[in-house]
Amino acid sequence: MNCIEKIQEIGPLKIIQLFFPIANFHAIVVIDNIALGPSIGGVRVSMDVTVEEVKRLARIMTLKNSIAGLPHGGGKAGILADPLSPKKEHYFRLFARAIKDLKDYIPGPDMGSNEECMALIYDEIGRAVALPEELGGIPLDKLGATGYGLAECAEIACPYVDIDLKGAKVAIQGFGSVGKAAARFLSEKGAIVIAVSDKKGCIYNFEGIDVKEIIDIKEKTGSVINYKKGTINDPSVLFSLPCDILIPAATADVINRENVNDIKAKLILQGANIPITTDAEEILHKKRILSIPDFIANAGGVIMAAMEYAKKTEKEAFDAISEKIKKNTDAIIKMALGEDIIPRKAAEIISKERVLKAMRYQGGI
Ligand code: NAD
């Protein structure tokens, strides 16, 4: 039996839809697997989040938590609302009360939610991660946990595709918590950020973008396109720019059959969750473009959240991110090269193995 045939289904365990028609409230919770411990996963707030999307994201969390060696399973939630709604606090309090008895799910932040939202949930039910510092949390977005992990991942992956990280040219799609921190930590390692984008547009300068300045501009004006020392274009142009490392750090399925052949980078670090469609990942593999999957490359945030839950310090959290992401990046690249499979498949095999073993101990399969 080859290792791909060894993969078996591991979830989802529970799919729950929460409706409060009077309050016009609708939320979704998926607990994918809890064999390794209570599930941790973010709460996405979006007008169009679907059960299917939450299911896919919950599975990514199972794989991410397992391969990082965390004592947690995978889950995810979605609240169908405008992230800028003035009723956001009300929605989070309703959501918290509705999941009070769902003790196998520990909520964290995701797109459209942040540490303040986690504080609201914590206030209602005493269970959430990525809390504000005042409540004993380690503020993972402020510290840039996920971006830090991406830079650690780059350090290991670069030599496999003959890139010298010092001087490597980097393009980043999405300039939120993940994109900004990735730019900051990669430039500290000597990489040159040549392009960044947000919803409003993409800006590039092949001589390099001043990372500190563009972060400041994004925070003050709301968009990277207000940075004056570069060329402005449509957001989608970013994927076709010449660079060494490409980091999708915005939404799902942004690299797909339509644009995958435009990519010039030798290395892709998946900052967002599921940013590349399955068929595009196969094409990248055939073209020998190394693509490190989301649940390896962007695990920094959940590792820090789990460290906070275990009452560890900020330093212990950063050390854990570095150690786990470097080890896993190396392991999956070696396996992918050795068996000529895509890195995502290699990562799934390693990750599922731990979940399946734990399920066996619990009589789960
Ligand atoms: P964020 O909301 O802080 O930032 C998202 C950024 O993406 C914004 O700058 C937005 O303008 C930009 N964007 C949206 N659509 C775009 C488009 N079509 N083209 C270009 N830019 C676009 O979100 P975040 O916390 O940085 O998360 C980004 C992604 O990373 C999400 O997929 C999230 O699930 C994933 N992720 C986040 C963390 C974390 O620690 N925050 C951890 C793991 C994974």
Determine the pLDDT at residue 2: 39
Catalytic positions, written as ranges: 76
Answer whether 178 contacts ligand 1 (Cβ < 6 A): yes
Which amino acid residue places its CA nearest to atom 29 of ligand 1? 272
Answer whether 293 contacts ligand 1 (Cβ < 6 A): no
Q: What are phi and psi of 268, to 5 degrees?
A: -120, 130
Answer whether 309 contacts ligand 1 (Cβ < 6 A): no
- Angle of helix 177-188 relative to helix 211-221, nearest 10 degrees, comes to 160
Q: What is the pLDDT of residues 190-203, one digit of tens each?
A: 999 999 999 999 99
Determine the pLDDT at residue 362: 78
Q: What are phi and psi of 112, to 5 degrees?
A: 90, -5
**Can you tell me the distance from the alpha carbon of 310 to that of 101, in angstroms, rounded to the nearest whole number?**
21
193 closest CA partner among 164, 222, 168, 219: 168
Q: In angstroms, what is the span from residue 88 Cα to ligand 1's centroid?
A: 19
Which amino acid residue places its CA nearest to atom 16 of ligand 1? 199
Torsion over CA: 177, 179, 185, 187 (sign):
negative
Which amino acid residue places its CA nearest to atom 30 of ligand 1? 272
Site to probe by mutation for ligand 1, drawn from 59, 198, 238, 274 as the one with most ligand atoms within 8 Å of Cβ, is 198
Determine the pLDDT at residue 8: 52
**Can you tell me the distance from the alpha carbon of 340 to that of 192, in angstroms, rounded to the nearest whole number?**
31
Determine the pLDDT at residue 21: 87
Determine the pLDDT at residue 202: 98
Determine the pLDDT at residue 5: 41
pLDDT less than 70: residues of the chain? 1-8, 363-365
Answer whether 230 contacts ligand 1 (Cβ < 6 A): no
Cis peptide before 159 (omega within 30 of 0): no
Answer whether 251 contacts ligand 1 (Cβ < 6 A): yes
Which ligand 1 atom sits closest to the C-alpha of 145?
40
Which amino acid residue places its CA nearest to atom 1 of ligand 1? 176
Both structure tokens of 345: 């498949």
Answer whether 259 contacts ligand 1 (Cβ < 6 A): no
Q: In angstroms, what is the span from residue 89 Cα to ligand 1's centroid?
A: 21
Q: In angstroms, what is the span from residue 142 Cα to ligand 1's centroid?
A: 14
Answer whether 271 contacts ligand 1 (Cβ < 6 A): yes
